[in-house]
Amino acid sequence: MDNIVGKKPALLWAVHLSVLALVLLWVLPVVGLLVSSFRTGDQIVSSGWWQALSAQEAQQPAIRIAGTEVAQDGVFAISGNLYGGKGGAISAWGTSSREPEAHAPGDTAELADGLRLTVQENGDFSLTSPASLADQRLPRVFTTASTPPEFTLQNYRNVLFSPLAGQSIGQAFLNTLTVAIPATVIPILVAAFAAYALAWMEFPGRALLVAFIVGLLVVPLQLALIPLLQFHNWIGIGKGYLSIWMAHTGFGLPLAIYLLRNYMVGLPKDIIENARVDGATEFQIFIRIILPLSFPALASFAIFQFLWTWNDLLVAMVFLGTDNDKLVLTGNLVNLMGSRGGDWEILSASAFVSIAVPLLVFFSMQRFLVRGLLAGSVK
Amino acid sequence: MHPALQAILVILGGVGGCVGYFYASNLILDKVLFPARGPQAGRNINRANLVRPWLFLAPALAALTLYLAYPVFATFWRSLLNQAGQFVGLANYAKMAHEPKFTEALGNNLLWLIVVPAAATGFGLLAAQLTDRIRWGNLAKSLIFMPMAISFVGASVIFKLIYDTREANLPQIGILNALWLKAEGGIGSVLILQLLPFALVVSLIAGFAYLGWLVLRPLWRRRDETAWIRVGRVIGAAVAVFLVIELASWAYGIATADLPYGQPQAWLQIPYWNNFFLMAVLIWIQTGFAMVILSAALRGVPEDTIEAAVLDGANPFQIFFRIKVPQIVGTIVVVWTTITITVLKVFDIVYAMTNGQWETQVLANYMYDKLFRAFDWGMGAAAAMVIMALVTPILVWNVWNARREMR
Amino acid sequence: MKRMLTASAATLALLSGAALAQDLVFPVGEGAFNWDSYKAFDAANNLDGQTLTIFGPWRGEDQVLAESVFAYFAAATGVKVNYSSSESYEQQIVIDTEAGSPPNIAILPQPGLIADLVKKGKVTALGQETQDWLAQNYAAGDSWVGLGSFAGPDGTKALYAFPYKIDVKSLVWYVPENFEDAGYEIPETMEDLKALTEQIVADGGTPWCIGLGSGGATGWPATDWVEDLMLRTQPADLYDQWVSNELPFNSPEVVGAIEEFGWFAKTDANVAGGASAVTSTDFRDSPKGLFTSPPQCYLHHQASFIPSFFPEGTQVGTDADFFYMPAYAGKDLGKPVLGAGTLAFITKDSDASRAFIEFLKTPIAHEVWMAQKSFLTPMKTVNADLYGDPTMKKMGEILLNATTFRFDASDLMPGAVGAGSFWTGMVDFVGGKSAQEVADAIQASWPK
């Protein structure tokens, strides 16, 4: 294929540029989330993520003076740094919400009760008072300052190690894998046999069966949950791993059969017919020829089914149950969020924690997605 | 027993059981029931071949019937009952047809059904074709695929960060508004925000008009087509005409719009257009799916057909549209179908971002609303039946495609 | 994977002690708690080896607090408690009860949903004894009995749900120092509050921050406003009739309350960002306007949970405070208080389930949570000195001073209205439709 493009560097450049544009468009939202996951909740809601890397000149939230009081010659003094030494350059400051920019750095402001406050450009302050300030409400300082970019790993620490969720994330990872792997492998195998029959065996009603399966793809999950859970309770498996494996298998089958059948139909006809002429049984054809040739389709379905079971919360809650020791990763992450939602910093960090495994699966399966190698060898 | 150990046993048992079932049942069929020996060998082979497909299909059909077909019938039956469980015939459907929210949802769903599969398949095909040709293609693919791995809830958060709106005097945290506020109505903004989209829409109009013409033309040129294909062509052309009219109204709107520069926009609250902002989320997610499947199909296109075209002096565009695309039409149908079905079922995005307010209701969310907010199971079931009915054209297309393949 | 497991295990080991949920936060016998009640309950109940599944709405920090209470139940009875929650717990509870594998105890904030489950026969009645207990031991006990009573499958009304943990909604939040800087006083009457609103506008400021945005639930903060104003313009029995739709939604009384809300939210000068910003501002972002400089707004109407969305480090009581949303001096309607809360009910009967309801009757089940954070209770026998911070105590006083207490109407109405057309109607109202138009639409959506 390269030889077509290779001769036309202009076209090649166009391809590079359009792929770059496409990738940027697709990645930009994720980058936003990634950057946000390293910021505090306050930062996320107070400035755009694309500004996170540059120093910001902005009105800062009010900072209340705090520190230990030192008494000297009848004057009580508190000094320290407004930003806790994190850096920042003040261009104006004030102590009233009405005039937040009343003073320049280095100025001394006279407050009520004889308090005097001086704030330097780097945020150092000193507050003096003729009377003790103990047990008194200390003044607020409003600053307009440029602050250096600041990132935190706290969100990830919260997601990975917080005891809030009731169990360790390691256990949740293990539970999710326990759910996802059988729920990926079993439907593939069952579907592969069915797909082969639908693709290469002659029997009446074949096209209708295909239509039946496509029709089942559209069944809304919410409706199937109650009758199926009733059924599981009735046959006595109730809620548990067996229950969720069966449920995921049932829900995943239509797409699996549909994708695999479509792929198998496209396999070269002569190989199969030659094998039949040579006296191979259908079972042998399936195992020796169809399965190896269908590897790309099996791999791609495996990826999708794995993603779906990995990201699922609803089916897990209904069929696995809600016991703490059976909690899946999504359930664990949801528990970290407050009752009223909107914890963007937790959401963003947890999105990246849960995305890690599916991406790993995709990367490792990617080389199996190529059919060229196998198809070339049989020609 | 530890669940992880249990899982390994299930995998081994499941795989072994499945293979064992298929192997043993085949063996019994061939050796015991209809042995290919003796006086009736020929008849027995035929009989065995008649039964065998059902052996292969049995486990899958059993699971499908139990897990999906049975709930469908249960749902259909439920849609004929009222809230208290008495039989009311089609009253739920009649009631639904009179609800403005339902008609709104139906209209929006049709819009989704046209835009999302088309855009996701189109972008997916583009990405698959382009990334196959460059060295960092696999990296690019992984990046475009990444949204697939994000849950719908995660995706809704991401897009909330994009569509967020703040008052004009506050710093915007939504990137769309930040970019929008950069435009101040000068010649540059007119060029980018009006002239460029106008040109794009006009070229789309031309494209759809041409496509419609291509679909319709054989109607009087070829007399040998069956009535069904002719009906299909008329429907296809009608869709194209609808799109051309719709897009023409867009073009008119874009050309005459007086854009409110300098005012931050609440994107999800602008009726009609907010649907497209919601669709963007699903397109963003589903393109990776389309790309992966189509890229595998593209790589399966036999090399010799391409080489022959190169020798004939075809340019890359001709090779793509005349040689490659016709050979992967089957896969395109599959991708289109799958995304269409995802569109019909997806409610998480609408639920999390607007919950159908500001005229963005879709059927799946309407159904959810009836089921779990109003606890009206009859109405919810009726809405589900409508969703399933909407898939019929796709069903017909797939049957037609499957028949053609088998010939 | 393995390394990560050990790493997290190590961290957990470090954090354990105070952090692990099963430990008792307050050692038995220490402090001013009603330990006698705990010891009596401990002695009376021995259910070793049983398990109790509880499904509730609390997640995150709230979940930790709830589990700290359940730990006492577990320690006293020997029952293993499994608490879980989900972001779609309403859906979950419906599926589980319908399919026949419900949790033992469900805790929900929506009486409307509980009513539906009770009607379908999925909930076990709590009995006369519990009803009498509530009437005697909760302040304004009869109103709580009324809240937890629903019509069963056969149509007879009985107590099915036990109210536990209350939120006060009639609060207005403000920054005391901003009031001092501008020289404003805390209004004692609704007339004063309206005058203050006009005063702030005249001074060139913006009085209110109102944000209705909440993703799919956008609009709900406005329902609190309308309910509060309904209680302040109409007598409480009209409020009850409104909830049950005996008073139609589009009657002049309700339309009047909606228009009253419009006076605050639909006047551009009264709200930060103008009326058009009200629907697009998220309710979680909205209070942040109080803390900017110069302040974007001076007042914010929201329930007692809102401090979780104040900027990090904000001290309630110093940096921010609240006052009771006052009543009209001109109308003789007393001091009504609007609230919300959660109700516990038995979805699968067992000894442990019954014991859990008994446990909720002990003062200790309330004191352990209130001594920590964000918990209000109408139970009279608890030691009010135990409130973890003065803010909670002040809210407790609002509850006590209330002449009328009413539950959030939108939670009591049928889901199609209370979690549907009421929300969307409020969005339409702020977006420009008239109060009458919106009320007509909501009334039309009321299930018959």
**Residue B397 maps to which CATH number?**
1.10.3720.10
* Predicted pLDDT of residue B231: 83
At A244, the amino acid letter reads I
Give the contacts of C163 (CB within 8 A, at least 6 positions apart): C134, C138, C144, C147, C148, C341, C342, C343, C378
| Residue C261 or residue B400, greater confidence | C261
Residues B224, B313 within the same domain = no
Residues B297, B381 within the same domain = yes
Tokens coding A159: 């997601």
Residues B319, B380 within the same domain = yes
Contact between B387 and B363 (Cβ < 8 Å): yes
- For A144, the closest chain C residue by CA position comes to C293
Residues B283, B395 within the same domain = yes
Under DSSP, the state recorded for B147 is G
CA C81 vs CA A90, A169, A279, C73, C162: distances in Å:
54, 20, 63, 8, 19
Q: Are strands A56-59 and A140-147 parallel, antiparallel or unpaired?
A: antiparallel
Name the domain boundary from B196, B230, B261.
Answer: B261
Residue B280's pLDDT band (boundaries 50, 70, 90)? very high
Residue B82 in domain: no
Residues B334, B385 within the same domain = yes
Contact B373 C217 (CB under 8 A): no
**Torsion sign over Cα B226, B229, B235, B238:** negative
Q: Against a cut of 0.90, is the pTM above it?
A: no
Residue B68 in domain: no
**pLDDT 10s digits, A94-120:** 888 878 888 888 888 888 778 888 888
**pLDDT 10s digits, A307-334:** 889 888 888 888 887 777 788 888 877 7
Which candidate, C446, C440, C402, C396, places its Cα nearest to that of C420?
A: C446
pLDDT for residue B123 is more than 60: yes
Tokens coding A58: 């902005």
Q: Which fold has domain C25-168+338-407?
A: D-Maltodextrin-Binding Protein; domain 2 (3.40.190)
Contact between B3 and A177 (Cβ < 8 Å): no
Contact B149 A363 (CB under 8 A): no
Give the contacts of C381 (CB within 8 A, at least 6 positions apart): C34, C137, C363
Smallest Cα distance from A260 to chain C, Å: 32
What domain count does chain B have?
A: 3
Gap between the Cα atoms of A302 and A368, Å rounded: 11
Q: For B96-105, C246-255, C280-289, C400-409, which range has the lowest pLDDT when averaged over its residues? A: C400-409
* Predicted pLDDT of residue B279: 93
CA dihedral C404, C407, C413, C417 (to 10 degrees): 100
Residues B257, B272 within the same domain = no
Query: Is residue A295 exposed (0-12), middle (13-18) or buried (19+ Cβ within 10 Å)?
Result: middle
**Torsion sign over Cα A322, A327, A330, A331:** positive
Of A171-180, B286-295, C349-358, where does the model show the most confidence? C349-358
Angle between helices A221-235 and A241-265 (to 10 degrees): 130
* Predicted pLDDT of residue A167: 61
Contact C420 B165 (CB under 8 A): no
Smallest Cα distance from A193 to chain C, Å: 32
Which candidate, C377, C214, C220, places its Cα nearest to that of C309?
A: C214
CA B374 vs CA B302, B366, B380, C120: distances in Å:
55, 10, 9, 14
Name the domain boundary from B17, B37, B61.
Answer: B61
User: ∠ CA(C159), CA(C160), CA(C165), 5° rounding?
Assistant: 100
Q: Which chains touch A (3 or more CB pairs under 8 A)?
A: B, C
Tokens coding C81: 């408690």
Which candidate, A200, A226, A348, A372, places its Cα nearest to that of A295?
A: A372
At A355, the amino acid letter reads I
Which candidate, A42, A45, A44, A48, places its Cα nearest to that of A63?
A: A42
* Predicted pLDDT of residue A164: 63
- For C286, the closest chain A residue by CA position comes to A45
Looking at every residue in chain A, the average pLDDT score rounds to: 82
pLDDT for residue A6 is more than 60: no
Looking at every residue in chain C, the average pLDDT score rounds to: 87
Which candidate, B155, B402, B140, places its Cα nearest to that of B292?
A: B140
pLDDT for residue C187 is more than 90: yes
Mean pLDDT of C47-74: 89
Residues B302, B240 within the same domain = no
Mean pLDDT of C139-148: 84
Residues B152, B230 within the same domain = no
- For B404, the closest chain A residue by CA position comes to A207
Contact A238 C101 (CB under 8 A): yes
| Residue A160 or residue C271, greater confidence | C271
| Residue C249 or residue C7, greater confidence | C249
Question: A82 and chain C: CB distance < 8 Å anywhere?
Answer: no
Gap between the Cα atoms of C448 and C446, Å rounded: 6
Q: Indicate where chain C has its CATH 3.40.190.10 domain(s).
A: 25-168+338-407, 171-337+409-444
CA B237 vs CA B116, B211, B313, C209: distances in Å:
19, 8, 33, 52
C54 φ/ψ angles, rounded to the nearest 5 degrees: -120, 135
B 69-128: CB under 8 A from C: none
Q: How far apart are the first and last CA of chain C?
A: 56
Across the interface, which of A15, A246, A330 has its CB nearest the CB of B130? A15
C168 φ/ψ angles, rounded to the nearest 5 degrees: -95, 135
pLDDT for residue C18 is more than 50: no
Contact between A191 and B18 (Cβ < 8 Å): no
Smallest Cα distance from B266 to chain C, Å: 6
**Torsion sign over Cα C323, C328, C329, C333:** negative
Contact A96 C295 (CB under 8 A): no
Contact B11 A30 (CB under 8 A): no
Contact C12 A163 (CB under 8 A): yes
Please write down the HEC assignment for all residues of B44-101.
HHHHHHHHHHHHHHHHHHHHHHHHHHHHHHHHHHHCCECCCCCECCCHHHHHHHCCHH
Owning domain of residue B211: 184-261
Residue A7's pLDDT band (boundaries 50, 70, 90)? low
Tokens coding A194: 């069915």
Considering only CB atoms, which chain A residues are within 8 Å of C292? 59, 61
Residues B270, B381 within the same domain = yes
Gap between the Cα atoms of B289 and C330, Å rounded: 65
pLDDT for residue C36 is more than 50: yes
Share of chain C above pLDDT 70, in %: 95
Contact A311 B149 (CB under 8 A): yes
Mean pLDDT of B213-232: 79
User: ∠ CA(B405), CA(B291), CA(A173), 5° rounding?
Assistant: 115
Residue C188's pLDDT band (boundaries 50, 70, 90)? very high
Mean pLDDT of C322-344: 90
Name the domain boundary from B261, B284, B304.
Answer: B261
Residue A271's pLDDT band (boundaries 50, 70, 90)? confident
* Predicted pLDDT of residue A166: 55
Residue A45's pLDDT band (boundaries 50, 70, 90)? confident
Residue C437's pLDDT band (boundaries 50, 70, 90)? very high
pLDDT for residue A125 is more than 90: no
CA A59 vs CA A105, B72, C162, C176, C291: distances in Å:
14, 59, 48, 20, 11
How many CA atoms lie within 13 Å of B227's alpha carbon, on the beta-carbon side?
A: 0
Contact C15 A160 (CB under 8 A): no
Please write down the HEC assignment for all residues of chain C.
CHHHHHHHHHHHHHHCCCCCCCCCCCCCCCCCCCHHHHHHHHHHCCCCCCEEEEECCCCCHHHHHHHHHHHHHHHHHCCEEEEECCCCHHHHHHHHHHHCCCCCEEEECCHHHHHHHHHCCCCECCCHHHHHHHHHHECCHHHHHHHHEEECCCCCEEECEEEEEEEECCEEEECHHHHHHHCCCCCCCHHHHHHHHHHHHHCCCCCECCCCECHHHCCHHHHHHHHHHHHHHCCHHHHHHHHHCCCCCCCHHHHHHHHHHHHHHCCHHHECCCHHHHHHCECCCHHHHHHCCCCCCCEEECCCCHHHHCCCCCCECCCEEEEECCCCCCCCCCCEEEEEEEEEEECCCCHHHHHHHHHHCCHHHHHHHHCCCCCECCECCCCHHHCCCHHHHHHHHHHHHCCEEEECHHHHCCHHHHHHHHHHHHHHHHCCCCHHHHHHHHHHCCCC
Mean pLDDT of B353-378: 84
* Predicted pLDDT of residue B373: 78
Residues B274, B359 within the same domain = yes
Gap between the Cα atoms of B93 and B97, Å rounded: 6
Tokens coding A86: 């994190």
Gap between the Cα atoms of A62 and A70, Å rounded: 24
pLDDT for residue C8 is more than 50: no
Residues B280, B381 within the same domain = yes
* Predicted pLDDT of residue C107: 94
Residue A163's pLDDT band (boundaries 50, 70, 90)? low
Residue with tokens 């909740």: A41
Query: Is residue C30 exposed (0-12), middle (13-18) or buried (19+ Cβ within 10 Å)?
Result: exposed
Contact between A29 and B284 (Cβ < 8 Å): yes
Of A47-61, A358-372, B187-201, C360-374, where does the model show the most confidence? C360-374
* Residues in a beta bridge with A147: A56
Residue B407's pLDDT band (boundaries 50, 70, 90)? low
Angle between helices C422-430 and C252-265 (to 10 degrees): 50
Q: What is the CA radius of gyration of chain B?
A: 26
Contact between C114 and C55 (Cβ < 8 Å): no
| Residue B405 or residue A278, greater confidence | A278
At C166, the amino acid letter reads I
Residues B287, B214 within the same domain = no
- The CATH-assigned architecture of domain C171-337+409-444 is 3-Layer(aba) Sandwich (3.40)
Considering only CB atoms, which chain C residues are within 8 Å of A228? 99
Gap between the Cα atoms of A218 and B90, Å rounded: 22
Instruction: Give alpha helix (H) positions in B301-321.
Output: 303-311, 316-318
pLDDT for residue B244 is more than 80: yes
